[in-house]
Amino acid sequence: MGKPRLFVTRRLPGPCFKRMLEEFNADVWPEWRHPPHEVLVEKAPHYDAMVSLLTDRIDCEVIVAGARGRLRIISQYAVGYDNIDVDCATRHGIYVTNTPDVLTEATAELTWALILAAARHLVKADRYVRSGEWYRSGTGWHPELFLGMELRGKTLGIIGFGRIGRAVARIGAKGFGMKVLYYSRRRAPREVEQELNARYVSLEELLRESDIVSLHVPLTPETRGMIGERELRMMKPTAILVNTARGAVVDPDALVKALREGWIAAAGLDVFHVEPLPPEHPLTKLDNVVLAPHIGSATREAREAMTCAVLENLLAFKRGEVPPNLVNREVVEKRRPGFEG
Ligand code: NAP
Ligand code: GLV
Ligand code: GLV
C-alpha cells in the first residue's frame, strides 16, 4: 500500500503537522470555519484516516459512510470527544483516539485565569480604565473600588477529579493555600488526596461548602445538565462557578437566572451550550460573568503538542500497533490496527 489517505479538518500548528503531511497523502480543509456536516459525510469513505476537531460532528452517518468506504481511524485533536459517536465507531471497527495530558496544564492555567478574573472583577476593571470612567472619577485610588474575594484559605470545589481537575486542585492547594473538596465518579488514591489536601465529598456538600466551584467532567449522558437550578441554588451567594469543561454540563437558563438574581456571585465560562455564543445571548449582558471563546488548551505549547499526539496515534496505527490514546478499547477485538486489509 502507498501512503494512506488522510483528511484533516483544519490546518494544525507546529512542526508535527509538516511531518503528518509527509507521512500521509493528506488533504487539509482550507477554511477557518469547520467543514459542513455534508462535506464530512461525502469525504469520509474516500480516506483511510481522518483528523477531527471538537467542532466536527462525527455522528453515525459520517461513520457509517466512512466504514462503507476505507475509513479506519478518527484521530481527534482534543481530549474531549463528545462530538464523536464512539459507540457507532466501535460497532463499525473504526478506531478513535484523542490528545490527553499535553493540554492539561494549559487548560488548568486558563481555569485559574477565569477564577482570578472573576474574583477580582478584572474584565470590568479593564473596561473602567479604557472607557475613561476611572479618569472621570477624579481619584486614582479608593478604598472601595472593585472589592473582590481573596482566595487564600477559601474552599475550592472540583467536579470531575481527572487530569485537569487535579491540576487545578494542585494550583489551588499549593499556590493559594486553598482547601480542596472534590466530587468525581470514584475516589482518588490516598496519596493524591494527601498531596492535594483534597477531601472526597458528595456533590451536594461540595456545592454548599465551596467558594469556587470548577467543572472538569467530560460531557456524557450522565453529566449533561448536571448543574441546574437545584444545584445552583445550593451554592453560596458569594461563590463563583467556573466552566472549562463543556457548556452543556450546565443548564444555561438556570445559570443566567442564578447570575441575574444573585444565587451565586459570578461565573467564568470558556465553554457554552452553543458555540460560538451569539452576541445577543443573555450571558453577554451580565456584568458578573467573564467569557472566553473556548481557549482552554490555547497555548502554543499545548496546541503544538496536540498535533504531535495526533501524529503519534496515526503512526502507531499505521505500524499495526494499538495507538497510545485509543478511546474505544473494545474496537481491538473487532479489527486489528493498521491500514492493510
Ligand atoms: P479526565 O482525566 O478523563 O477527567 C474527567 C474526570 O471526570 C474523571 O475523573 C472522571 O471519572 C470524572 N467523571 C466522568 N463522568 C463523571 C460523572 N458522571 N460524575 C462525576 N465525575 C465524572 O479528563 P480531562 O483530561 O481532565 O478533561 C476533562 C474535560 O475537560 C474533557 O472531557 C473536555 O470536555 C474538557 N476540556 C476542555 C478544554 C477547553 O478548552 N476548555 C480543554 C481540555 C479539556 P473516571 O476517572 O471515573 O472516568
Ligand atoms: C477541548 O475542549 C478539548 O476537549 O480538548
Ligand atoms: C453556560 O455554560 C452556557 O452553556 O451558556
CA of 296 to the centre of ligand 2 (A): 7
User: pLDDT tier at 34 (50, 70, 90 boundaries)?
Assistant: very high
In ligand 3, which atom is closest to the CA atom of 273? 4
Global pTM reads 0.97
User: pLDDT tier at 225 (50, 70, 90 boundaries)?
Assistant: very high
pLDDT at 328 over 80: yes
Per-state percent for the chain, helix, strand, coil, to nearest 5:
40, 15, 45
Kindly provide the residue ranges of all beta strands, DSSP E only, lying in the chain, ordered along the sequence: 5-8, 25-28, 49-52, 73-76, 95-97, 155-159, 179-183, 198-200, 212-215, 240-243, 266-269, 289-291
In ligand 3, which atom is closest to the CA atom of 277? 5
Proportion of the chain above pLDDT 70, given as a percent? 100
* 107-118 mean pLDDT: 99
CA of 251 to the centre of ligand 3 (A): 7
CA of 315 to the centre of ligand 3 (A): 37
All three cell numbers of 320? 499495526
CA of 321 to the centre of ligand 1 (A): 26
Residues having CB closer than 6 A to ligand 1 are 79-80, 100, 103, 107, 160-165, 184-186, 216-220, 222-223, 244-246, 270-271, 294, 296-297
pLDDT at 160 over 90: yes
Order of strands across the sheet with 95-97? 25-28, 5-8, 49-52, 73-76, 95-97
Give me the pLDDT at residue 340, please: 87
Q: Which residue lies with its CA nearest to atom 14 of ligand 1? A: 217
All three cell numbers of 112? 485559574
pLDDT at 276 over 80: yes
